[in-house]
Structures are given as C-alpha cells and as structure tokens.
C-alpha cells in the first residue's frame, strides 16, 4: 500500500512537516554551513557578486513606475483599443508587483517575528537560536528574503511565459543558493523562502482570475491569460479543440446571462 500525503490527517501532516524542518535545522544546516566555509575564495567572491540579484528593488521600482505610466496613458488615450491595451499592460505589471512585493513583505515580517540567528552566530549560538520579534539583522535568517524575491519573480515570469520556466528556476536556484554559499543564510532558510516565493504568485493569480484581471479560469479548471493574441505572443500552448469548445460555450452562456 502506497501512503500518500493527502491520506494523512492535518495533525499527521503538521507533525511530519515539523519533523522535516527540525531535521533540516539540526543536520542539513550545519553540514551545508561547513561546506560553504570550505569554498575557495574565488568561488565565494563570485557568489557575493551575484547574490544581490535577489534583492527586490530592481523588480519593484521599475514595475511600480510602469503601472503608474500605463494608468496615466490609459486615461489620456481615449478609445476602446487603447484603453484595453493599457489596461492589459497595467494588469500584467501589477501582477508582477503584487506577487513579488507581497511575497517579500510576508518574508520580511516572518523573519523579524521568528528571529532566527544568522549563520555568523553559529559558533556561539548554534542553529536553533531564536529571538522572537527581534527586528535585528542578526536575527532575521528564516526565511531568506532574497530567495523569496527571486523565486517569486521566476514564478511570475514562468506563469506568463511558460517556455522559460526551466531557465528561470535554474537561475533562481543558483541565486538563492548563493545566500547559503556566502554564509548569510542556512539551507532551510533558503528552502522556506523558495517555497513562499513560488506559492504566493499562484495565490495572486487566483485572486486576479476571480476578478478577470489578466487571467481567466476555463471550464476545465485551468488558468489562462486573457486574449488569444497575448497567449500566442507569450508562447502559450494552444488549447485542445474540446477545451476551445467549452470556452466558447461558456462565453455564450455568460453573454446570455
């Protein structure tokens, strides 16, 4: 008999998750910290050079400015086509902004509330030192904000451009790993950040689709970007004839209502 996660009770799932987390804290984190300290100086220098790509500034400032510009242009350029085009641009960039900014905000709040000591304090504190509500950089290790940001960004772009997801997640993984390899975070910090950064954009997509902002949910339960031309431009796979028929029927029913 194969035991599946969904067959477990909530309590059993929580117990399993906590066991895995503490195993990571006690076994994997010290091992990975030791390995990172054994890196050649040239490798550490390289990872220090790439690690700040995980900061959210370069993602949020341009997208926030672009949203404001698109909304202004939408007001100034009268006409259905212009309004629809600028609305699509604003909703697309808004999806990026809300997903990356929201995930980063949650990570920053969580890390300051949890207050896990950073690896630089390992020798004196060990891997299980926590100071709740510390709001101190030395106690802001779990989860990794850089990992959250870069995985949220990769997930957003992968949702919009599915063909690029392998490249995007590969780059995100290396940038997130750099936080461990330069000794700024433990391995579990980065894993937690990656999970948060990956999950949050899908929650945002669900809320956008519920309001028909950028996305829509088809009769088969899948999510798609609104507009066939946009789908083709981004390289989305063509829906099957059965799905197209369901979409057409759904559109007809909604118009009649």
Three-state secondary structure call for residue 145: helix
Task: Compute the distance between CA of residue 88 and CA of residue 73 in angstroms, rounded to an integer.
Answer: 12
Residue (of 221, 225, 217) closest to 251 by Cα position: 217
pLDDT for 10: 86
Q: Which two tokens stand for residue 197?
A: 């950064």
Tokens 């804290």 identify what position?
Answer: 25
Residues 56-89 as b/e (b if ≥16 CB within 10 A, e otherwise) read: beebbeebeebbeebeeebeeeeeeeeeeebebb
Helices (H), 115-239: 122-125, 145-160, 165-181, 187-210, 228-233
Local confidence pLDDT in tens for the 257 residues of the chain:
466 767 788 898 889 888 999 999 999 999 999 999 999 999 989 998 888 887 767 666 666 565 565 555 555 555 445 555 666 777 788 898 899 999 999 999 999 999 999 999 999 999 999 999 999 999 999 999 999 999 999 999 899 888 888 999 999 999 999 999 999 999 999 999 999 999 999 999 999 998 888 888 877 778 887 777 666 666 666 655 544 554 445 444 444 44
Q: Which two tokens stand for residue 251?
A: 């559109």
Domains of the chain in start order, with CATH, are 12-214 (1.20.144), 218-251 (no CATH)
CA dihedral of 56, 58, 62, 64, whole degrees rounded to 10: 10
Q: How far, rounded to the nearest angstrom, does the alpha carbon of residue 112 sit from its chain's CA centroid?
A: 19
Residue (of 256, 210, 214, 218) closest to 239 by Cα position: 218
Q: CB-based contacts of 116: which residues, under 8 Å, 6+ apart?
A: 129, 130, 139, 140, 141, 142, 186, 189
Cis upstream peptide for 143 (omega within 30°): yes
Residue (of 44, 28, 25) closest to 36 by Cα position: 44
pTM of the full structure: 0.81
């Amino acid at each position: 008999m194969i035991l599946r996660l969904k067959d477990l009770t909530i309590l059993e799932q929580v117990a399993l998750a906590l066991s895995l987390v503490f195993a990571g804290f006690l076994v994997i984190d010290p091992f990975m910290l030791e390995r990172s300290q054994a890196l050649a100086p040239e490798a550490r220098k390289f990872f220090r050079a790439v690690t700040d790509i995980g900061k959210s500034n370069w993602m949020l400032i341009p997208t926030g400015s672009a949203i404001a510009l698109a909304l202004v242009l939408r007001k100034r350029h009268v006409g259905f086509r212009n309004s629809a085009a600028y609305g699509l641009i604003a909703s697309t960039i808004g999806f990026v902004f809300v997903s990356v900014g929201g995930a980063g905000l949650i990570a920053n709040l969580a890390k300051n509330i949890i207050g896990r000591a950073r690896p630089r304090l390992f020798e004196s504190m060990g891997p299980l030192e926590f100071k709740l509500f510390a709001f101190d950089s030395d106690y802001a290790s779990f989860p990794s904000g850089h990992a959250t940001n870069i995985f949220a960004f990769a997930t957003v772009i992968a949702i919009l451009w599915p063909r690029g997801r392998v490249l995007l997640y590969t780059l995100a993984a290396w940038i997130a790993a750099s936080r461990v390899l330069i000794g700024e975070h433990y391995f579990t910090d980065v894993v937690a950040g990656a999970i948060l950064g990956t999950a949050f954009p899908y929650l945002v997509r669900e809320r956008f689709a519920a309001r028909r902002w950028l996305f829509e949910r088809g009769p088969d339960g899948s999510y798609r970007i609104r507009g066939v031309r946009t789908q083709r431009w981004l390289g989305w796979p063509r829906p099957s004839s059965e799905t197209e028929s369901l979409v057409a029927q759904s559109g007809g029913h909604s118009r009649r209502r």
